[in-house]
Structure 1
Amino acid sequence: MSEIVVVQRRLTGYRVPLFERMHAMMAQAGMKLRLLHGDPTPLEATKRDSGHIAWAEHVPTQYHAGGRLCWQNFGPHVRGSDLVIVTQENKLLYNLVALTLRRPSRIAFWGHGGNLQSDRPDGLKEQFKRWTTRRADWWFAYTDISAELVRAQGYAPERITVLDNAVDTQELTEWRRRLDDDALDAARRRLGLTGRHVGVFVGSLYTDKRIDFLLRSAEEVRRRVPDFELLIAGGGPLASMVEQHAGRHPWVRYLGVRKGKDKVEAIALAQVMLNPGLVGLGVLDAFACGVPMLTTDCRLHSPEIAYLRHGHNGLITPDTLEDYVEAAVTLLTQPEASQRLKQGCADSALRYTVENMARRFTDGIGRCLDAPRLGERTAEWKT
């Protein structure tokens, strides 16, 4: 039985469903999955978002330089393993050891393929990351965008598996299905909504989300759609700014952090999910709830922006206030345009699931084990 080890700097709760599914799928395929994980930084520990898996193994973790460097010596734990999968982060010092001095039988990267938010794409950090990229036996890329970044660095495309990175949205989809018109009417009354044109923002409140752009565009939408109301759910450094803005504009309601059923309810009350800044896994909330997301081509997005297909399951406008407002007004006032995108959301919700991600991961692991090691390619190997 082949032994595969996945190494995580820390184990977050949202990854638990993925690893549990992979554990079961790989056992059925005759492979043994081991999961090694370390500890969060003191700052990360305050988020209280760590997960637990009974069969996972803990590896001591040390942080240096204020958490910017991490020493996590997993070497003694992977001797004899057939494949070791690590995340590609410059801060993970032992990765360099594993790629050079103490290389496992096979080593694979799992990651973004590059820092899409870097203000210095040709700086030393990104150059070093590109150097490590080409030294893995296999690549598990978050999305198609990640795979393209890896290919652009000269990596063989036949050694890349696109995972379609996802979180478990099954509960969100089920909660949305159970929300009938009566439940939504009751939610409107609780929140004091009086109009039928509602937008919603759900996410962390920090600079890359472009909250100032959100608030300015909402004011212009309100001017053109007099009964427009905006719900904002989330927490973060800019929460006080949002709260103060809502105090000055009664049609803006700041809901604080919303999770689970409460988050679904807030999204379901809207006709459009407004997120002019960084888009990441939050796009899956839009798909699960059937509410099209509207964003801009702001060049801040995470790899999951690949899931947002303009005109199919959402809209991506040029990065101007005028274009963004025009698109928002269209989705709010033209039901036929919104309905087409809602169907796209439903289709995408079926594709981008943690179940499918686990299946793609498992299939890619099998392909990696069947392939020659890096530098030992043979003419007989077929992709």
Structure 2
Amino acid sequence: MKKVLIIQRLLPHYRIDFFNKLRTTLAANGVELSLVYGKDIQSQKNDEADLEWATYIDTQEIKLGNTELYWQPSLPYLPGKDLVIVEQANKNLINYLLLVRRLFSGHKIAYWGHGLNRQANPNDFRNTFKKAFLTRCDWWFAYTSQVKEFLAENGFPRDKITTVQNAIDTTELTNQYNSLTASDAEELKNELGIQSDNIGLYVGGIYKEKRINFLIKAADLIRAQVKDFHLIVVGSGVEASVVKEAASTREWLHYVGPKFGLEKVKYFKIARLFLMPGLLGLAVLDSFAQQTPTVTTNFPFHSPEVEYLENGVNGVMTEDTVERYAYEVSQLMQDEARREQLVEGCKVAAKKYTLTHMVHNYAEGILKCLHLSPVVQLPEINR
């Protein structure tokens, strides 16, 4: 049986289903999957998890000036592995050891990631350094099709790149959303003291790149145009105090902290729009699965999954100004026919970007890298 090891610095909740299903799919095809992961003890997102069959190891943080580096003592788990898959991250020291090991022993390694840091200038030192290592692996698991194109343009063989189509379990989210009734929605609105349907929702980490101040300024303008507008903020992070302070002076702004599972889905059930003017990534899939169109901006530092949003089809991308963003949200709040068209687009996208597709893509890439033919046939899917 071939053996594969994936090393993750962090294990967020949304990855649990993926790793469980990938492990099952690979086992059916004669491949044993192991997972080693760490945690960020300083994280305020409250979104990290544990996995019974995986191995937790303490991650050591090393300060080098203003830079944080991470060492995961995962060497005991390397022997006997036919392939080791790591996140493509400059700060993960284990990656450099694996590159040296590959150079002298021929052991296969693969990268999984974005290709470059999309929250920084493409030509800054960090991305220049990252590009220097782009081709020094045996296989690439690219988050999206645009990441694959970037890798190919920078010299990595196209036939050794798997487009993962990064996703979460949208099927389960859709089922949970559809299981909620109108009375469930009214009950939550009553708890929050909301007597309006014009509700905007933010769900995610609360930190600088998410541009919470931008969101609050826009919300003030929206409220001036849509008199019964309410904004609900779900999540936690280093800038949570900004939301709490704003909510203390705005009776229409509701901060409810982090929510998971069905509790989080309930907030999508009462919202008309998903508001994310800053960094947008996997959260766009939440909006698809829960039929709540995203309104974002052409912010230059989105994550790769922003390519799933089709402007005017399953969401809206505005100019990157508070005024324009507020105007577009206000217009959508008052144009139900247009909003419903976007909802239909969300339903279509939710069926395209699924965890099942991601698992099959990833498993197929591993089998190709190991020169194995599927024992259990993987279905053809849209890429």
TM-score, scaled to structure 1: 0.88
Q: Give the corresponding residue for 2:111.
A: 109
Going from structure 1 to structure 2, the CA distance change for 1:184 and 1:10 (only over 3 Å counts) comes to: closer
Which whole-Å deviations, capped at 9, do the CAs of 1:46-65 have from their partners, x for residues lacking one? 947231232x3455643321
Q: Give the corresponding residue for 2:164.
A: 163
Q: In the aligned structure 2, how far is the partner of 1:96 from the partner of 1:86?
A: 11
Cα offset, 1:198, TM superposition? 1.5
Going from structure 1 to structure 2, the CA distance change for 1:230 and 1:370 (only over 3 Å counts) comes to: same
Q: Give the corresponding residue for 2:378.
A: none
Q: In the aligned structure 2, how far is the partner of 1:368 from the partner of 1:3?
A: 12
Cα offset, 1:317, TM superposition? 0.9
Determine if contact 2:101/2:107 at 8 Å carries over to the other structure: no
Q: In the aligned structure 1, how far is the partner of 2:233 from the partner of 2:77?
A: 45
Cα offset, 1:111, TM superposition? 0.8
Going from structure 1 to structure 2, the CA distance change for 1:196 and 1:172 (only over 3 Å counts) comes to: same
Which whole-Å deviations, capped at 9, do the CAs of 1:131-163 have from their partners, x for residues lacking one? 111111110011223223322322222211111
Q: Give the corresponding residue for 2:306.
A: 305
Summarize the alignment of residues 321-332 of structure 1 with structure 2, pairs less than 5 Å apart: 321-332=322-333
State the one-letter code of the partner of 1:98: L
Q: In the aligned structure 2, how far is the partner of 1:229 from the partner of 1:115?
A: 34
Summarize the alignment of residues 188-199 of structure 1 with structure 2, pairs less than 5 Å apart: 188-199=189-200
Give the secondary-structure state (helix, strand or coil) at the position aligned to 2:230: strand
Q: In the aligned structure 1, how far is the partner of 2:264 from the partner of 2:58?
A: 36
Q: In the aligned structure 2, how far is the partner of 1:152 from the partner of 1:196?
A: 47
Q: In the aligned structure 1, how far is the partner of 2:304 from the partner of 2:36?
A: 25
Determine if contact 2:44/2:237 at 8 Å carries over to the other structure: no
Determine if contact 1:330/1:337 at 8 Å carries over to the other structure: no
Determine if contact 1:234/1:255 at 8 Å carries over to the other structure: yes
Going from structure 1 to structure 2, the CA distance change for 1:186 and 1:26 (only over 3 Å counts) comes to: same
Q: Kindly report the root-mean-square deviation, in angstroms, between the aligned alpha carbons of the 2 structures.
A: 2.3
State the one-letter code of the partner of 1:350: K
State the one-letter code of the partner of 2:77: H
Q: In the aligned structure 1, how far is the partner of 2:292 from the partner of 2:44?
A: 33
Matched residues, number: 368
Structure 1: runs of 5+ lacking an equivalent: 372-383
State the one-letter code of the partner of 2:6: V
Which stretches of structure 1, 4 residues or more, deviate above 6 A after TM superposition? none
Which whole-Å deviations, capped at 9, do the CAs of 1:218-277 have from their partners, x for residues lacking one? 122222222222222222232222222222222222222222222211122111111111
Q: Give the corresponding residue for 1:129.
A: 130
Structure 2: runs of 5+ lacking an equivalent: 373-383
Going from structure 1 to structure 2, the CA distance change for 1:261 and 1:73 (only over 3 Å counts) comes to: closer
Q: In the aligned structure 2, how far is the partner of 1:36 from the partner of 1:238?
A: 30
Determine if contact 1:41/1:63 at 8 Å carries over to the other structure: no
Going from structure 1 to structure 2, the CA distance change for 1:91 and 1:296 (only over 3 Å counts) comes to: same
TM-score, scaled to structure 2: 0.88
Which whole-Å deviations, capped at 9, do the CAs of 1:73-92 have from their partners, x for residues lacking one? 54553334322211111122
Q: In the aligned structure 2, how far is the partner of 1:50 from the partner of 1:189?
A: 32
